[in-house]
Each structure stands twice: as structure tokens, then as C-alpha cells.
Amino acid sequence: MQQTMYRIKDPKVSLDFYTRVLGMRLLHTLDYPSMTFSLYFMGYCKAEDIPVDIAERTKWCFLQKGTIELTYNYGTESDPEFKGYHNGNTEPKGFGHIGLSVPDVDVACKRFEELGVKFIKKPNDGKMKGLAFIQDPDGYWIEILTANRMPTL
């Protein structure tokens, strides 16, 4: 898989969440002013691996695995009538979530709590202990898991 696309309301808020809270890096931005949208590609790459040349960066970006494409349609952040996007977890259900593997779910979730991240499920809630679900600023669900704990769920 190369990318998963989310529509976002406000790029400033979403970019802050994905970089500061989840530790991703902005890999590339593509702006399409004539079509009134911008694309922000997020991922877990070293800064020094990102090409400086724009053409090379674009090609490189589309060769990365497991990226998130944040799609911003101009004006949604300031439109009082805009109610947000459907996250797939309410009726009619569809898309569910993405998942991030972390070294320690409890440590990661403590940090998320300190940062004021909204939880759908904390690690010790419910029947499936040891994994959590948080929400991004647009309400999309993100599963937080530790790989070595998954066999015991």
C-alpha cells in the first residue's frame, strides 16, 4: 500500500496533529489552486532522505510505503455550514481506521492523554486489552497497538 487518503477540514490543525502528536513528517505538498485543493503527504521518513529537487521529491513521495494523503478542499476551515467529513464509523458504516504500531501502547497513550488527544478506547478499556483508538482532528480513528501484545488479545 502506498497511501491512504483522508479529507481534512483545516490543514494547520491536521498537520500539527500528524507531525507533533503522531511524529510523522510532511513529505511533500501538492497545490492545485485552479481546482481549489491541496494534498499533504505524511509519513515516517528521515528528513535527510527527502529529495530537495521538487520533481525528484514528487517521484520519491509516490514510492514510499504506508503514507497518509491529507486532502484539503479550500475554504472548509472557515465555512460555518461545513459539518465535517464522515469517518466511516457511524451509519452508514464504511472505512474504519488506520493502525500505528508503537513500542509500548501504555506509554504512547499516556503521552496522547497529556497532549489532549481524544480517545475512542483506552488500552485497558473493553474486552480487547492492550490496544487503543484515538481520533485525529477530523474524527478519523487511529488504532494504537504494540505488535508483540497482539497474539494475546
Q: What is the pLDDT of residues 53-72, one digit of tens each?
A: 999 999 999 999 999 999 99
Is the previous residue joined to 11 through a cis bond, with omega within 30 degrees of 0?
no
Angle at 28 between CA 119 and CA 16, to 5 degrees: 30
Buried b (16+ CB within 10 A) or exposed e, 110-127: eebeeeebeeebbbeeee
Q: How confident is the model at residue 152 (pLDDT cuts 50, 70, 90)?
A: confident
pLDDT at 39 over 90: yes
Q: What is the pLDDT of residues 103-144, one digit of tens each?
A: 999 999 999 999 999 999 999 999 999 999 999 999 999 999
Whole-number mean pLDDT of the chain?
Answer: 96
Percentage of the chain modeled with pLDDT above 70: 100
Helix boundaries (H) for 2-153: 11-16, 54-61, 105-114
Q: What is the pLDDT of residues 73-102, one digit of tens each?
A: 999 999 999 999 999 999 999 999 999 999
Q: What is the C-alpha separation between 2 and 41, in angstroms, rounded?
A: 11
| DSSP 3-state of 54 | helix
pLDDT at 153: 78
pTM, two decimal places: 0.94
pLDDT at 34: 98
**Bridge pairing between strands 67-73 and 3-8:** parallel
Q: Supply the residues annotated as catalytic.
A: 143
pLDDT at 151 over 90: no
Q: What is the C-alpha separation between 28 and 69, in angstroms, rounded?
A: 10
